[in-house]
């Protein structure tokens, strides 16, 4: 195996772990489409940064965080709008802004298009360090605010009514979510992010009893999915992203089957 592949495996494992952890909350809060929505916000941010002549990464980060944090405007009981409908509206806006920006940009569009598919095989050491730092920040955040995040998962309105500091924690979580997705996008792409956020967490929710085990299982499955996907891709010379997505879906299918068999243990 080429030495460069170790860095690819490491970056894949970190991306799998951080998406797995993020997925516990995103899937639990029933907004899995945030992955797709933020990836398109990052695309729009990147292309508009190119149009305006500023740093594309900064553009992607600002657009992602702003999109994620804007979801805090949807409040249970106050806004007659489901979070997923809000995400769909933001998604269409970001798609529109992306295409508008593409029409205006004069240089290469390959950087923008690569965000959709990612390019993990070309990962650089600096980018691997950045995603590691933000994965650690996410881990520390959910450890510090574990009790508040659990209440938010269970019921946002109950959290709000009973004085849990839900607004601050929810807003911080969404902001962090935007950053994590934006820094992982150039490596694993929008499509893989969507699958790595949704499938390991959804599988963990099928398999585990208790929040702690859901978190551990989702991170483990996120890492395992990328590793198995890499392995299949390497040994059978198949596209890496497609292998990871299909493996994560198969793991979810196996988790559903397992739960049906042992349902009484719940």
Partner 1 sequence: MKAVSLKISQVQVAAGGRKILDVGELNIGSGEFIAITGTNGAGKSTLMKVCCGLIKPNQGSVVFNDIDIYKATGWRQSNLRKHIGYIPQSAEYNAELPFTVSEVVAMGPTASKPLLRRLNSNDRETIDYWIGQVGLSDRKKQTFRSLSGGQQQKVLIARAMATEPGVLMFDEPCSNLDFNWKYQITEMIDKLYQTNKMTVLMVCHEINLLPQSCNRVILLHDGKVVADGDKEKVINSQAIRDAYQCEMETVKIGGRDYIINKGI
Q: List contacts with partner 1 (CB under 8 A).
A: 28, 30, 76-78, 80, 144-145, 147-148, 150-151, 153-155, 157-165, 168-169, 205, 208-211, 214, 266
Smallest gap from residue 59 Cβ to partner 1 (A): 32
- Closer to partner 1 by CB, 3 or 80: give it: 80
For residue 162, the 8-state DSSP code is: T
Identify which of residues 40 and 156 has a Cβ nearer to partner 1 in the complex. 156
Token couple for 149 = 């995040």
If the CB atoms of residues 10 and 145 are measured against partner 1, the closer one turns out to be: 145
Q: How far is the CB of 207 from partner 1 (least distance, A)?
A: 9
Q: What token pair was written down for 56?
A: 């594309």
Least distance from C-beta 213 to partner 1, angstroms?
8
Q: CA separation (Å) from 60 to 44, 136, 181?
A: 7, 21, 10
The DSSP line for 23-90 is: HHHHHHTT-TTHHHHHHHHHHHHHHHHHHHTS-HHHHHHHHHHHHHHHGGG--TTT-SS-HHHHHHHH
Minimum CB distance to partner 1 smaller for 117 or for 145: 145
* Closer CB to partner 1, 33 or 205, in the complex: 205
Q: Which of 194, 201, 252 is nearest to 222 (CA)?
A: 201
Please report how close the Cβ of residue 216 comes to partner 1 at its closest, in angstroms: 13
From 6, 17, 52, select the one nearest 184 (Cα to Cα): 17
4-28 helix and 125-144 helix, angle to the nearest 10 degrees:
30
CB 166, CB 159: distance < 8 Å: yes
CB 254 → partner 1: shortest distance, Å? 17
Least distance in Å: CB of 22 to partner 1?
16
Q: How far from the centroid of its chain's Cα atoms is residue 28's Cα?
A: 13
Q: Read off the tokens for 200.
A: 């390991």
In the bound complex, what is the minimum distance in angstroms from residue 144's beta carbon to partner 1? 6
- Which residue, 112 or 169, has its beta carbon nearer to partner 1? 169
Maximum CA pair distance of the chain? Answer: 61
Which of 6, 143 has the CB closer to partner 1?
143
């Amino acid at each position: 195996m080429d030495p460069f592949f170790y860095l690819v495996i490491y970056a894949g494992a970190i991306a799998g772990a951080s998406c797995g952890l993020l997925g516990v909350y995103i899937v639990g809060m029933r907004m899995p489409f945030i992955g797709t929505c933020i990836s398109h916000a990052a695309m729009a941010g990147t292309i508009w940064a190119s149009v305006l002549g500023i740093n594309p990464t900064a553009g992607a980060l600002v657009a992602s965080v702003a999109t994620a944090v804007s979801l805090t405007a949807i409040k249970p009981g106050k806004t007659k709008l489901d979070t997923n409908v809000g995400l769909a509206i933001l998604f269409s806006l970001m798609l529109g802004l992306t295409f508008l920006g593409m029409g205006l940009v004069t240089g290469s569009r390959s950087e923008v298009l690569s965000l959709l598919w990612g390019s993990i095989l070309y990962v650089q050491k600096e980018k691997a360090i950045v995603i590691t730092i933000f994965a650690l920040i996410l881990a520390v955040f959910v450890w510090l605010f574990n009790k508040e995040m659990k209440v938010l998962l269970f019921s946002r309105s109950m959290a709000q009514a009973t004085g849990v500091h839900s607004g601050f924690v929810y807003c911080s979580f969404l902001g962090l979510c935007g950053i994590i997705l934006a820094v992982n996008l150039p490596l694993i792409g929008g499509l893989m992010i969507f699958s790595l956020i949704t499938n390991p967490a959804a599988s963990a929710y099928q398999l585990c009893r208790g929040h702690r085990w859901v978190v551990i299982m989702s991170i483990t499955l996120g890492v395992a999915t990328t590793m198995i996907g890499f392995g299949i891709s390497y040994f059978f010379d198949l596209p890496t992203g497609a292998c990871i997505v299909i493996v994560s879906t198969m793991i979810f299918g196996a988790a559903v089957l397992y739960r049906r068999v042992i349902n009484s243990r719940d």
